[in-house]
A = this chain, B = another copy of it.
Amino acid sequence: MSVERPPDAGALVALYPVFARVRRDALDRCIGAAHTVRVPAGTVLFDEHNPCRGFPLVLEGSIRVAKAAPNGRELPLYRVGPGETCIISSSCLLGRTEYNARGVAELDTALMMLPRECFAALLDEPPFRDFLFSLFAERIAGLMQLVEEVAFRKLDQRLAALLLGKGRMLRTTHQRLADELGSVREIVTRLLKGFADQGLVALGREQVEILDPAGLRRIAATGQ
């Protein structure tokens, strides 16, 4: 983990347009107080029961926030990319509670950590509040969607949905798909084989070619 100079206000505003509408002195104070860190892919940024140290802004890369099962499997809750912020951190700061999920850098990631007091100060800025409220609203909707999926949808439906909307050619492994679903590799292989037998996809090493998006959509929606 390397520490470097914070970005200037211009660079920050380019990523987070909301800061253009925040009082300039408040923004500058935050940039001054923040420290920017750069971590390699795979770094665990926080974990269950950790206290929350500050408010992270992702400048580059991506954080994967997931719940870990006792047996080591993980279910991703959501991702935080450049221009977004980690809503779970906000939640912890606001409620003064501990983290209840794990955050891992998925790529080499640069982030700017604002100390808690800075975060509190930003809450006084109406545009920043609106920004945060919208993110909260989005994540709540996403989490409710996720609850529905894991509770009611079968794995083939979830897999079909996962394959869609990423272009015709997916470059990924069965293991990665399983990780995305909170399942295991063998099951994904089995299900993909089923899809291939129906002519929905063509399989290759580290790739899945979508042959029949409509068919996959049908499975995702109805389970056939």
A interface residues (Cβ-Cβ under 8 A, vs B): 67, 69-70, 73, 75, 77, 87-88, 90-92, 94-95, 97, 100-101, 123-124, 126, 129, 132-134, 136-141, 143-148, 150-152, 182
Contact = CB atoms under 8 A, between A and B. Distances in A.
A91 to B, nearest CB: 4
A97 B136 contact: no
Copy count, this protein chain: 2
A175 to B, nearest CB: 18
Contacts of A124: 126
A95 B92 CA distance: 22
A150 B143 CA distance: 13
B141 A100 contact: yes
A136 B143 contact: no
Contacts of A132: 133
A147 B146 contact: yes
A136 B69 CA distance: 25
Nearest to A133: B94
A134 B97 CA distance: 11
A141 B95 contact: yes
Given A100-B141, A139-B140, A140-B136, A148 B67 contact: yes
